[in-house]
Amino acid sequence: MNQPVRKAVFPVAGLGTRFLPATKAMPKEMLPVVDRPLIQHVVDEAREAGIEHFIFVTGRNKGVIEDHFDWQFELEMALLERQKHAALEFMSQDLPIPGSTSFTRQQEPLGLGHAVWCARELIGREPFALLLPDVLVQHTPGCLAQMLEAARELDDKVNVVAVEEVPHERVDQYGVVGVGTAKGKTFTITTMVEKPRPERAPSNLILTGRYILQPEILDVLQTQERGAGGEIQLTDAMIQLSHTQNFYGLKFEGRSFDCGSKIGFLAANVSYALGRKDIAPGFRVEIKRILDELNGD
């Protein structure tokens, strides 16, 4: 891939109904995994990969996300007055540099493909990354950094998607890819199928919520008809674009967490807490105590 990927899109317009009532007044993307919101973890992954421009596709009642990536004058003054310099420095490290964030609105919940299309003027005519904030990948380097490294070894005008294995009986919950010829750390994708029946699935490799896409996907989305659920599906657009551009899959290193589900969200909190040197020792003790009590020990 000759042209560098400088921009990343974060679709954050979802309603988060699976987490009600917690998400009645707070966006699901702001739910904390340990002490950082979901969206902060995903932005951190993009920043580590070298992304320079962060594009958020928002909806109603999502203003707190924009506030999160801005200065909080009252809080900062309070920390300064109380000599909390370490906390102030820690907060400032999370802030994108001025001018590197953009926000646009998805007025109707018409699906992921529509959310990406809503960002078309900010994306322009260059390749871009797409990161779903419902998905966390725990690894260093992050998933997007691994994808960009692999993409640099490929030809120009290619698209790369992150994939992972799931039990075959669960493929009907995901978009599934067909596996072609290996090329370095990637493989050519022969087909993409949205939520196939297990007996008709081309593999047990699923799309994981990380994409590197060429700008031509926006042209396809411009005229894309509504698909499953009456929404404009990104997978449908990728299938159409695959007729003229190559798609590659990368089996990334690391563990993913589907934080759109309660089990995945709770598992992410446990795993990320156990990965923190300042928290893990005491947290292990508490986990053991809880399990012992539940088991009657």
User: CA–CA separation, 100 vs 84, rounded Å?
Assistant: 27
How does residue 295 score in pLDDT terms, banded at 50, 70 and 90?
A: confident
pTM of the model: 0.92
How does residue 210 score in pLDDT terms, banded at 50, 70 and 90?
A: very high
How does residue 91 score in pLDDT terms, banded at 50, 70 and 90?
A: low
Q: Quick one: 7-260 is in which CATH superfamily?
A: Spore Coat Polysaccharide Biosynthesis Protein SpsA; Chain A (3.90.550.10)
State the pLDDT at residue 238. Answer: 93
State the pLDDT at residue 17. Answer: 87
Long-range CB contact pairs, 149-152, < 8 A, 24+:
150/184, 150/185, 150/186, 150/248, 150/250, 151/1, 151/5, 151/212, 151/248, 152/1
- Tens of pLDDT, residue by residue over 123-161, are 999 999 999 999 999 999 999 999 999 999 887 788 999
User: Which residue ranges make up each domain of the chain?
Assistant: 7-260
- Tens of pLDDT, residue by residue over 226-270, are 776 678 889 999 999 999 999 999 999 999 999 999 999 999 999
State the pLDDT at residue 180. Answer: 92
Buried b (16+ CB within 10 A) or exposed e, 97-125: eeeebbbbebeeebbbbbbbbbbbebbee
User: Contact 94/67 with Cβ under 8 angstroms?
Assistant: no
**Region 207-228 average pLDDT:** 90
